[in-house]
Amino acid sequence: MGIVEVKDERVEKLSEMSKSQKTVFAHIEFVDIAGLVKGASKGEGLGNKFLSHIRECDAIVQVLRYFKDSDVVHVEGSIDPMRDVEIINTELIMADLEQVERLIPNLEKRGKLAANKDDAKLAGLLTQIKNVLLE
Amino acid sequence: MSKEELKTLKPYNLLTMKPFVYAINIGQEDISLAHKIADEFMLKLQSPVAIVSAKIESEMMEMSNAEKDEFIRELVNMDKVTHIPTLDDLITLAFSKV
């Protein structure tokens, strides 16, 4: 995990203009997680359990390998960033699918009671998402 | 999906609903092509793309800003390159997405 400053020139200008004693940049926290491999959702490699570490984040940065260096091994044995994107995105879809499928039955059950109308609605919404993920 | 629906889904933290940013990790030899590579992947991925070189960044980690400048200047032909991609680009890009 690393916390960095967002070096925004505008902040520096504002600070100058207002003669601030202290210039505070916005901060952003990056969390690095272990690399996903093909089949992680089925337990390959380290599995996909560590995806829970990034569930709370606001955005996802995917680092794609473009450089060629035979000293640094690539799990798939060749350099192909677009293939890697496909693999990672598939794994992310599988992880979401797992979560949605776990949530739906309970929500449906609870939604059957009149008092829990929202749960029924949510179950419907998650089912829609599930169908999109399955495509 | 409506704003209302998105709000109900927020606590479930679905990964595929988050904004995505791609960082292309290039080698030293590709620095002069950084722009071309960024454009190529922006088109292919239909997403924001930042170019970084983890190797160069790791070599520059202990350097002062002046040393970094010199190091980069020695690395690439500045006549051909108008902008050197750095981690700051990624940071700014990522921040713009949150």
Q: Please identify which residue in the block is written with the tokens 């990624």.
A: B90
> How buried is B72 (Cβ within 10 angstroms: 0-12 exposed, 13-18 middle, 19+ buried)?
middle
Residue numbers of the domain that contains A62: 31-134
Task: Out of B5, B19, B45, name the one closest to residue A59 (CB).
Answer: B19
Other CB atoms within a 10 A radius of the CB of residue A107 amount to: 20
Residues of chain B in contact with residue A81, where contact means CB-CB under 8 angstroms, are 24, 41
Tell me, yes or no, whether A16 lies in a domain.
Answer: no
**What is the number of structural domains in chain A?**
1
On whether residue A22 sits in a domain, the answer given is: no
Is the residue at A79 inside a domain? Answer: yes
* Digit-coded pLDDT (tens) for A12-45: 888 888 888 887 888 888 888 877 888 888 888 8
CB contact under 8 A, B22 and A61: yes
A75-95 mean pLDDT: 92
Indicate whether this model's pTM tops 0.90. no
